[in-house]
Structures are given as C-alpha cells and as structure tokens.
Amino acid sequence: MELINQYLSGAFVPIALVLCSIFFFVRLKGRPMINPIVIIKSLFKKKKGSGTSPVRAVIFALAGTLGVGNIVGVASAIALGGAGAVLWMWVSALLAMILKYSEVVLAVLHRRVRNGENYGGAMYYMKEFFKSCKNLGKIFTFLFTFFCLLNGFTMGCIIQSNAISSSFSSSFGMSEIGVGVFLLILSVIVFFFNGKKIFSLCEKLVPFVSLLYIVMSLAVIIPAYDRLPFIFRSILEDAFSFRSVGAGALGFMFSKALRYGTIRGLFSNEAGCGSSPIAHATSNTNSPTEQGFLGVFEVFVDTMLVCTMTALVILLNLESATPHFSNPIMMAFAAFSHSLGDISNILLSISVFLFAFATIVCWGYYGKECIYFLNKSKRAEKVYYMLYIAFIFIGSYISLDFVWELADLAVGGMTLMNLLIISLMSNEVKIETSRYFNEKRASKRKPLILKN
C-alpha cells in the first residue's frame, strides 16, 4: 500500500489538482475568484423557506475541513520547509477555491429531496453523468462511496479521536482509554439524535472554536506587531527555495484535517475531493452559483485565516518551537506557551478537542449519506453509526501508522474520481456561472426610455 500511495498521493493527485484548477479558472474566466463583493453578499443573503440555510450548510462543511490539522499541518510545513512554506499554502488555497466552487455548484444542481429536505453530494452528480451507462455508473459510484466511507473511518474518525486523546493525555494527564470512553459516551448522545440536531451542534461548535483559536492567536500576534514586517519578509525571501515549495504544498494538505502524508500535493480543504458537497447540497438556496461562492469562503476561512494564524504564532516564537520539530503538535503548544504561559496549554487542548470533535460529527454525517446512497434502510444506518462510534473509541489509543496509509489511499481515490467527473461536467458549471453573472449584469442596466 505504501508503494501505491507513493505514486497516488505523491504524483498523480497533485498534478491532477493543479491542472484541473487551471482548467476551471480559464473555463470560468476566473469569475468566482475575482468577485469578492459578490461572495461577501452571499454570506448575508437570507433565504426564505424551510431546510438548511446556505450559511448553515457552509458552517457544517467547515466542520469537516477545520480540524486539528489546521494546527499540526502548518507546524509540519514550517518544520519541513521554513517560513517560505507559508506563501505556498496561500497560493495553494487560491487555486483550491475554484475547484471547491465547481463541485459545490454541481452538487446543488443535482441534489435531491427527502422528506422535504435537500440532500446530495458528489455520488449523485456522478450517477447523473453515467445515466446512459448505468452499469458503469454503479461501479464508479460504489467505488467513490467506498473511498468516502474509508476516509470517514480513518481521517474523519480515528485520527481525530487520537489527536484528542493525545492532547488530553499531555495537558491533563488523562489516560487514553479514559478519553476514549468519554468520546464514546458523547458520540452516542450526538449520533442518535436526528440530522437537524447534528447540524445545530456544528453550527454552534465551529464558530465558537474558531473564535477561541483566533482570539488566542491574536493575543500572541498583536503584542508582537512590530516584528510582523520581518516575518512577512522572511516568508517571501524563503518562499522560492525548493525545500519551501515542496513542504508548503505538503503542509497545506495537512492543514485540512490532520493527515500526515495524505495527498502530498498542493491543496487542502477537501477541494476536489468530493466530500464537502454533501454538506452544501443540503442548502435551501435557489442559486447553485451563490452556494459555490460560499465554498470559496470555506477555503478562505480554513487556510487564509485559521492556518495563517497558526503560522504567524509559530514564526513569532520559532526559537521555542524549534526543539519540537519532530512533533508538530508540540511545536504549536510550545509557541503558544512561550507567549501566553501555561494557560495556553489548557486553551489549546480545548481547541483541539472542539476542532476534532466537530470533524468527527461532520464526517459521521457524510458517512451516513454514503450509506443511504448504497442502502436506504434504517437498519443499515444504525449499523453504520454503531461501527463509527466504536472506531472513535478504538482511535483514542491505537497506533496510526497503518491508518495514515488507508487515509492516503481513500483521499487519493476520491479525489482522482471526483476530478475526472467534474472536469467532464465542466460545461454545466460554465453555463450556470455565465447565467448568474449575465442576470446580474442585466439587472444593473437602466431601462431604455423611448421619447415620443
């Protein structure tokens, strides 16, 4: 498996992601990227009717992309590539936005309705693509949902659980088994509520933990504002060495969800992976394009905001973080502790718990939707949740070496399959995008007044 991942994650997927990003940017004339005011307006645009609001859907998607990797991944990038790696995380984020936009647009275009609620995801627009060849479509969509489930059990469940137990064990002296039991009980409570309450939990959890982490970061950054010009200069000066380019791409991948070695390429935020469209498809929006803009916002928050905060904290306290280069999570702990004292260890542990548990909840929902796609019985859903919760407990104490290999394989498989389909369906994205902007332009024209 290691040999497969070496080529899959180390070559095919990064190249495919870059080429697809360029392809969509040219095909869409960069419109989703060069209209920030339209994106901002989408955040505040209210939608009438029942169902999940567009902003609530993007917050739920953020629960899946924001994880402890936003801390660990950036630390890894700096350890491997120096300050210059940060610039390449930013560049990667800009490229990733167009892929996120495209897959979200397709997800909303091809969503379905169940009990009055919207649902969907990559597997549904894949199914539509293969409607003239159903047998091939069944094989293709089955493989995609299999990889998505595998990714949920590894990256979305076991790895996040392990991060929580490691953090609590280090900061509070709790046993890993004890943390596992706590997570087990908490997960049973959460996952046997209905879907709306899962959305509600993430809706409250993600903004809170993001705000907590940003406040902690600003408490480090603001007092050292006079050193920021030097930090940014070091980022630019170091950015074009081979070491920084490679590690920056690597760390950017980590920043999505705590994946050491997963898809050693250029993008994070699951852009092109096909998972977060499951969340965006639940939106009650009437505009696929506007929901796509929120996908762009999702990438911005994950990388340009949260990951940048982590990078600045570490670079401002690089001397304290340096002794922990072999342990990225301790790099972050050391950097925060140097500026804020021991209280930061407690606050950072709380942040790790909230980030990771939000990811666990989100990926639990993604997996449930995959199970529904394959088998619509309630029994299958209950069996899935029981297995998922069991792996949350197991993940709190097992070794992760083989888990990382499985996560690499899962994400690589999902991404290549999804990129192929969204590229072949790019005309739909182009038509929808052009229609939206043409309507916007037409609405701004003044009516022609004819004189007698």
Neighbouring residues of 378: CB distance < 8 A, sequence distance ≥ 6: none
Residue indicated by tokens 């609590």: 168
Does 173 reside within a domain?
Answer: yes
| Structural domain span for residue 30 | 2-43+52-429
In this prediction, residue 425 carries a pLDDT of 96
Predicted pLDDT at 244: 56
User: Residue 448: inside a domain, yes or no?
Assistant: no
Distance in angstroms (rounded) separating the CA atoms of residues 25 and 43:
22
Backbone phi, psi, residue 52, to 5°: -80, 125
**Per the domain annotation, does 9 fall within a domain?**
yes
What does the pLDDT read at residue 82? Answer: 78
By the 8 A CB rule, do 414 and 13 touch?
A: no
Q: Report the chain (452 residues): mean pLDDT per 10 consecutive residues.
A: 62 79 91 77 65 76 71 76 78 81 95 90 95 92 95 89 84 87 88 66 74 90 93 83 56 40 42 87 90 88 85 91 76 88 85 85 91 93 94 88 82 90 96 89 59 48
> Helix or strand or coil: residue 451?
coil
Does residue 446 lie within any of the structural domains? no
First to last CA, the chain: 79
- Judge whether 441 lies within some domain: no
CA triple 192-193-197, angle to 5 deg: 145
In a domain, 439, yes or no: no
Structurally, the chain folds into a number of domains equal to 1
User: Residue 235's pLDDT is what?
Assistant: 86
Q: Which CATH number do you get for residue 12?
A: 1.20.1740
**DSSP secondary structure string, 243-266?**
HHHHHHHHHHHHHHH--TTSS-SS
Q: What is the pLDDT of residue 241?
A: 63
Q: So what's the pLDDT on residue 129?
A: 95
- How far is CA 240 from each of CA 82, 153, 246, 261, 289, rounded to the nearest angstrom? 11, 37, 10, 22, 35
Prediction pTM value: 0.84
**Are 348 and 333 spatial neighbours (Cβ–Cβ below 8 Å)?**
yes
The C-alpha atoms of residue 88 and residue 354 are separated, in whole angstroms, by: 27
The answer to whether residue 256 sits within a structural domain is: yes
Say which residue the tokens 């499951």 belong to: 278
Residue 435: inside a domain = no
45, 101, 108, 293, 431 from 33: Cα distances, Å: 19, 9, 19, 9, 17
Question: Hey, what are 17's tokens?
Answer: 């992601």
